[in-house]
């Protein structure tokens, strides 16, 4: 195995591509929101906690694409990978690497849990931190893995949308040492934001997922339903931020009206999609990609705003 990797740089590049590390780096913004919120509630910013906490999350996220491509191998025969969906396409082109992909995934998950154990011991955290990490890894594993196979039973959206909770929760938990009511209230808009992400990455693969036996909401109800749900979710992101401003759970310098203003970006895009009705694959994929750009724009703006008020 070692000569195979070291002697063929092209193959090594493909194995890295299989893990889609860009997504693991991109979801850093979710983690940062949770960490910054913890600091806003007077948690000490301990750099070692922040770095090790993110390493745990990065590894868990990296493993996802290795085991998803393994379990989705048959379904991926029918889809064409895009920048935002369809798997990496690496195993479809190199089926002899399937077992290697699974082993890599298991190894990375093991490292994620090992670092969680180290984190728990070093910082004297409760066992709940370790259990939280294990739960997140199991949820990701059973998105496509038997016997649960969430994405083949019409339940994959719940697993994917849970990222809106788990990723910022990891940042908050790592610095605060617990998950409390203010955090659970704060993440409500992020859940709807992540639902936009979930539906958007399903939209390009509708035809292929149907042939591959997946039972996604887009397969079941079509792209038109998906864009309606995206617009509704965008509306709920904005409304949720506005409602939270009346809870009195947060410091006065955190103005949720500003966060609601940021959320108008995906909401406006969702309204445009309702008007244009981009139902064919090419135009639908284009707008789905715009949705992801809008999501990460909002996440970056929220991070910048939290850093500003902490400064």
What is the pLDDT at residue 7?
56
Q: Which two tokens stand for residue 82?
A: 């895009």
Rounded Cα gap, residues 15 and 288, in angstroms: 26
Assign 8 a pLDDT band (cuts: 50, 70, 90).
confident
CA 276, 277, 281, 287 torsion-angle sign: positive
In-domain check, residue 175 = yes
6 within domain boundaries:
no
CA separation, residue 230 to residues 29, 92, 226 (Å): 21, 30, 6
Please compute the mean of the pLDDT values over residues 99-117 and round it to a whole number: 97
pLDDT tens-digit profile of 156-206? Answer: 999 888 877 899 999 999 999 999 999 999 999 999 999 999 999 999 999
Extract the tokens encoding 213. 């036996």
DSSP-assigned states of every residue in 173-212:
HHHHSS--HHHHHHTHHHHHHHHHHHHHHHGGGHHHHHHT
What is the model's pLDDT at position 311? 85
Map tokens 């889609």 to a residue.
Answer: 20
Average per-residue pLDDT in the chain?
A: 93
pLDDT greater at residue 79 or residue 222? 222
Task: Work out how many domains the chain is built from and give that number.
Answer: 1
In a domain, 8, yes or no: no
Q: Is residue 9 part of a domain?
A: no
* Contact present, 36 and 77 (Cβ < 8 Å): no
Whether 11 is covered by a domain: the verdict is no
Query: Which domain does 224 fall in, by range?
Result: 18-310
Quick check: 1 pLDDT over 50? no
Residue 1 lies inside a defined structural domain of this protein: no
Instruction: Specify if 213 maps to a domain.
Output: yes
Does 265 reside within a domain? yes
């Amino acid at each position: 195995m070692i000569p195979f990797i070291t002697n063929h740089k092209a193959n090594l590049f493909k194995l890295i591509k299989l893990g889609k590390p860009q997504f693991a780096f991109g979801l850093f913004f979710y983690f940062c929101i949770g960490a910054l919120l913890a600091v806003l509630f007077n948690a000490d910013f301990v750099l070692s906690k922040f770095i090790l906490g993110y390493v745990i999350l990065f590894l868990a996220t990296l493993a996802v694409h290795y085991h998803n491509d393994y379990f989705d191998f048959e379904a991926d025969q029918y889809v064409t990978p895009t920048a935002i969906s369809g798997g990496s396409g690496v195993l479809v082109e190199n089926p002899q690497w399937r077992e290697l992909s699974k082993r890599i995934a298991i190894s990375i998950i093991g490292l994620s849990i090992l670092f969680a154990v180290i984190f728990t011991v070093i910082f004297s955290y409760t066992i709940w931190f370790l259990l939280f990490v294990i739960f997140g890894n199991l949820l990701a594993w059973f998105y496509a893995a038997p016997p649960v196979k969430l994405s083949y039973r019409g339940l994959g959206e719940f697993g994917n949308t849970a990222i809106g909770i788990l990723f910022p929760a990891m940042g908050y938990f790592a610095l605060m040492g617990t998950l409390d009511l203010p955090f659970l209230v704060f993440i409500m808009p992020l859940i709807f934001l992540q639902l936009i992400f979930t539906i958007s990455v399903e939209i390009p693969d509708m035809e292929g997922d149907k042939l591959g036996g997946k039972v996604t909401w887009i397969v079941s109800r079509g792209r038109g339903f998906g864009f309606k749900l995206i617009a509704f979710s965008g509306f709920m992101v904005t409304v949720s931020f506005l409602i939270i401003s009346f809870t009195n759970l947060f410091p006065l310098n955190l103005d949720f009206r500003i966060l609601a203003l940021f959320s108008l970006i995906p909401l406006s895009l969702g309204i445009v999609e309702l008007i244009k009705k981009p139902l064919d694959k090419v135009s639908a994929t284009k707008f789905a990609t715009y949705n992801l750009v809008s999501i990460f724009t909002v996440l970056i703006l929220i991070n910048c705003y939290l850093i500003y008020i902490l400064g």
